[in-house]
Amino acid sequence: MNQTAPTAAPRRGREGREGRGASAAPAARVVRPGMASGKYKPLSDDDMRRIHDTALDVLENIGMGDSNHERLLHYALPKGCKLENGRLKFPRALIEDMLAVNATSSVAYGIDPRYDLELKPNRVHYGTSGEAVTILDYDTQHYRPSTLVDLYDAARLVDQLEHIHMFGQPFIASEHSDNSFTHDMNTAYAAISGTRKSISLGVAEVRNIDPLIKLFDTFVGEVGGFLKRPFCAFGGCPVISPLRWGYDNLDVMIRMAELGLTADIAIAAQAGATAPAALAGALVQTFAETLACLAVVNMIKPGSTIHFGMWPFISDLRTGSFTGGSGEEALITACTTQMCNFYNLIASVPSGMTDSKTVDAQYGSEKAMTTLAASLAGATFISPYPGMVGSLLGQSFEGMVVDNDMLGSILRVVRGVEVNDTTLSYGVIHDTVFGAGHFLGNPQTLELMKTEYIYPQVADRRTAGAWEEGSKETVYELARVKVKQMLGSHYPVYVEPATDARLRELFPITLKPDDMKAGNGRW
């Protein structure tokens, strides 16, 4: 294929042009959380119905194992579930009923209301996520254990990154990994100290829920205040695939439903290992497992909200290891998403789980492929794992910044093309052909510059000449500079000093005040 090399149009001074539009009102933002999507439909309606039907067969006839759990049975048996040999079986009609009463939308409250996210099918949002255990250190390229102060830094970074709409706990504070209470109180504290966006936490044990709520009530200065605007979701994985309950997180999920809070779950059965290798079969099983969770929370309280975290994972069948960056993963996640939208569920799906160990071309390629697929399929709540590397092993801060640009671009794709008399531009074409001969100075161009086009923060659009004259940086290097700027300067005081003192009195907070001020030498 031959084509004329694109010609740079006459340069007009970036500064002058950037100046225009700078005052664009928020409503005119090029992209925003909750953009409508769903124009990629990998499955036929019949495919989805067959997967659904088979999942219901699975729940009715095979059921969920390890179901001798008192609270579970307390709710499930009166509704018509049957316990046989420790397996809880769900009648088809019960599942259909629970699907019918399940809430089809929810609000993920921000700590600051301007970060509230209205979650409903086919509306795209991005958040961090993970429970990784390491940080990929930029200088040494070594995966070192993640710590509490890293988590505070991650929260501060997300606080500044436009296209990461909420802060889900991306990794653990490894110094507290032997004590889930100390761990969970500290991660909650690190999160609220670093960001005003909506947050979510992994909670290992149900006994930590009430103290967490107390911590948040103290933070907002009102007993019961947190439950009025629950800005934190508590999550976990209540299922051990194939088709068994995991008690610690089942307890958390049950408690969420009892409190009227969103159950933020993720069921990550791995095709070829803990789910069938056939992708349709993996969809059947994870749909069944996630439906079992949906049924439980709605048996507890009809109309419960559940982030329908149906996360089929993929194995590299040569080794049996997880591969998060594969084409199969992109595909099956898009299928999951489409099914959720078809059944009016709040699709919570992962993407961006690259198998690359560093922030390289494979990283970018796998992140974009999986995230675009999930986004175009219209997932409501995507964990695109910004900055996550090594098949979910570790977090790169620089990667977060790189991925923020990618997420903005993908949201631009999601937004689509507006077609109307004005945008069709017949008059603009006519006037240009018979007038100036080019469009760069056309009023339409100037008008659309800040409303139709999105510009990256670190992705490099310089000419090759300028790049060679400079330091020939990769975007990873450019992001490093940005991370240092962002983390070296953004030390917000989101917890008032008096509240901070109270929190430190009530809870075993270990995050050092000195680490929460500029000039601490960490960045």
67-126 binders of a copy of itself (CB under 8 A): none
Q: Is 133 one of the binding residues for a copy of itself (CB under 8 A)?
A: yes
C-alpha–C-alpha distance, residues 54 and 95, integer Å: 13
Q: Does 429 bind a copy of itself (CB under 8 A)?
A: yes
Candidates 27, 84, 114, 318: give the one binding a copy of itself (CB under 8 A): 318
Give the range of 53-61, 108-116, 205-213, 498-506 binding a copy of itself by CB under 8 A. 53-61
Q: Which stretch binds a copy of itself (CB under 8 A): 217-225, 271-279, 480-488, 494-502?
A: 271-279
Looking at beta carbons only, is 329 or 500 nearer to a copy of itself?
Answer: 329
Rule CB under 8 A: which of 169-228 touch a copy of itself? 169, 200-203
Contact between 131 and a copy of itself (CB under 8 A)? yes
Cβ closest to a copy of itself, residue 301 vs residue 357: 357
Q: Distance (Å, rounded) from C-alpha 417 to C-alpha 39? A: 12
Q: Is the peptide bond before 91 cis (omega within 30 degrees of 0)?
A: no
Question: At closest approach, how far in Å is the CB of 193 from a copy of itself?
Answer: 20
Shortest distance, CB of residue 255 to a copy of itself, whole angstroms?
A: 14
Residue with tokens 């799906």: 349
Distance, CA of 64 to CA of 67 (rounded, Å): 7
Nearer to a copy of itself, 121 or 130 (CB): 130
Among 242, 378, 384, 386, binds a copy of itself (CB under 8 A): 242
Q: C-alpha 381: how far from its chain's center?
A: 6
Which listed range, 113-121, 214-222, 454-462, 490-498, lies at the site for a copy of itself (CB under 8 A)? Answer: 454-462
If the CB atoms of residues 389 and 511 are measured against a copy of itself, the closer one turns out to be 389
275 binds a copy of itself (CB under 8 A): yes
- Residue 457 interacts with a copy of itself (CB under 8 A)? no
Q: How far is Cα of residue 400 from the mean position of the Cα atoms in its chain?
A: 12
Report, in Å, the least distance between residue 221 CB and a copy of itself: 27
**What distance in Å separates the CA atoms of residue 84 and residue 97, rounded to the nearest whole number?**
22
- Considering only 24, 223, 317, 501, the residue that binds a copy of itself (CB under 8 A) is 317
45 is an interface residue for a copy of itself by CB under 8 A = no
For the sheet with 306-308, list strands across it: 35-36, 123-126, 381-383, 346-350, 306-308, 263-265, 232-236, 198-202, 166-168
Q: Near a copy of itself by CB under 8 A, which window of 95-103, 145-153, 224-232, 372-380?
A: 372-380
278 forms part of the interface with a copy of itself (CB under 8 A): yes
Under rule CB under 8 A, residue 379 binds a copy of itself? no
Q: Which residues contact 36 (CB under 8 A, 6 or more apart)?
A: 122, 123, 378, 414
Three-state DSSP at 345 gives coil
Q: Which residue has the tokens 């609000």?
A: 107
Which residues in the 465-504 window bind a copy of itself by CB under 8 A?
A: 467-468, 472, 474-476
356: alpha, beta or left, given left = phi > 0 and alpha = psi -120 to 50?
beta
Which of 91, 225, 281, 492 forms a contact with a copy of itself (CB under 8 A)?
Answer: 281
What span, in angstroms and rounded, lies between the C-alpha atoms of 416 and 127? 22
Task: Choose which of 45, 93, 100, 141 interacts with a copy of itself (CB under 8 A).
Answer: 141
Q: How many residues bind a copy of itself (CB under 8 A)?
A: 178
Q: Does 277 bind a copy of itself (CB under 8 A)?
A: yes
Q: Is 279 in the site for a copy of itself (CB under 8 A)?
A: yes
DSSP assignment of 52-111 equals HHHHHHIIIII-BBS---HHHHHHHGGGT-EEETTEEE--HHHHHHHHHHS-S-EEE--S
What residues does 65 pair with on adjacent strands? 244
CB of 280 to a copy of itself, least distance (A): 4
Asked whether the beta carbons of 311 and 286 are under 8 A apart, the reply is yes
The contacts of residue 328 (CB under 8 Å, 6+ apart) are 271, 279, 314
- CA 82 – CA 497 distance, rounded (Å): 54
Binding string to a copy of itself for residues 400 to 419, with x set by CB under 8 A, is what? Answer: --xx-xx-xxxxxx-xxxxx
> What is the C-alpha to C-alpha distance for residues 189 and 507, in angstroms, rounded to an integer?
9
Site map for a copy of itself, 10-39, x if CB under 8 A? Answer: xxx-x--xx--------------------x
